[in-house]
Amino acid sequence: MSIPLVLNRKNRILLAELTKTDFKLRYQGSILGYLWALLRPLMMFAILYIVFAKLLKIGSDIPHYPVYLLCGTTMWSFFTECTSQGIQAIVNRGDLLRKISFPKYIVVVSATLTAVINMLINLVVVIIFALINGVTPTWSWLIAIPAILQLYLLSLGIAFLLGSINVKYRDITSIWEVFIQALFYAVPIIYPLSMVASTSQLAAKILLINPLSQAIQDIRFGIITHETITTWNYLDNIFFSFIPVCITLTILVIGAITFRKKSKFFAEEV
């Protein structure tokens, strides 16, 4: 069997055009248009900032806390958008699948690429806010690159895995929506991990094993402050830091294999 992940010319053209169309359609008919890609996460950030940082006074011990929070919500939005769009991609593009033959993963990747574009725009905002807030640029900003890549691969793996089940059992969409709400509180975004650590170190370590927490903490460590708790400066054994990375790769591989196996039947089942 040939490896389907080869992006030949025809597939590249298709991927680019589908991504462009997805992005255009997302903000179709709204007055502010593409600005919403910026406004939505900023508004979510404003709400969280007022409730948690101002009213509940969380995070006063962390330097540059507002940017720290914004960075977390940006990456979280990226993850939720990537997964929920990716999971529904096959069903949403059912009309194409039934009428032309092309590698099905293109549809999933194009749906997640829209989320990548949104995230990159927002990352620029995070960096501008960080600079305004007095964060000095250093080489450690580069740590964010592999961490963001890992976050993307994790989302892609989930999208492949759940997306291929979602074709037959549409319940997955609803289940994932609820699950992701619960997951939000299990990832240190609105609360700093140091707050958990001051009550229970074990709980903090368990939360950190989650690849989502690990990736977001790594990004914060890189861009915002070295006082961020990360797997490599907090877990007892350096080998434990590989667990989240292994989880990510396992999900990606299982997702890709499942998707490949089921994709033959998509045209008939969707």
Q: How far apart are CA 73 and CA 51, in angstroms?
A: 14
Q: Which residues of this chain interact with other proteins, rule CB under 8 A?
A: 9-10, 13-14, 16-18, 21, 24-25, 28-29, 95-102, 168-171, 264-265, 267-268
Q: In this structure, what token pair is assigned to residue 142?
A: 């580069």
Provide the minimum distance between the beta carbon of 33 and other proteins in the complex, in angstroms, as a whole number: 13
CB of residue 19 vs other proteins: minimum separation in angstroms? 11
Cβ atoms of 251 and 158 closer than 8 Å: yes
**Which of residues 174 and 199 has its CB atom nearest to other proteins in the complex?**
174
Nearer to other proteins, 97 or 219 (CB): 97
If the CB atoms of residues 154 and 167 are measured against other proteins, the closer one turns out to be 167
Q: Which is nearer to other proteins, 117 or 249 (CB)?
A: 117
User: Measured between alpha carbons, how far is 50 from 212 in angstroms, rounded to an integer?
Assistant: 24
Please name which of 224, 244, 250, 246 lies closest in space to residue 232, comparing C-alpha atoms.
244
Answer yes or no: are the C-beta atoms of 99 and 253 closer than 8 Å.
no
- Residue 108 Cβ, how far from other proteins at the closest point, in Å? 16
Please state the closest distance from residue 101 (CB atom) to other proteins, in A.
4
- Rounded distance between C-alpha atoms, residue 225 and residue 67, angstroms: 10
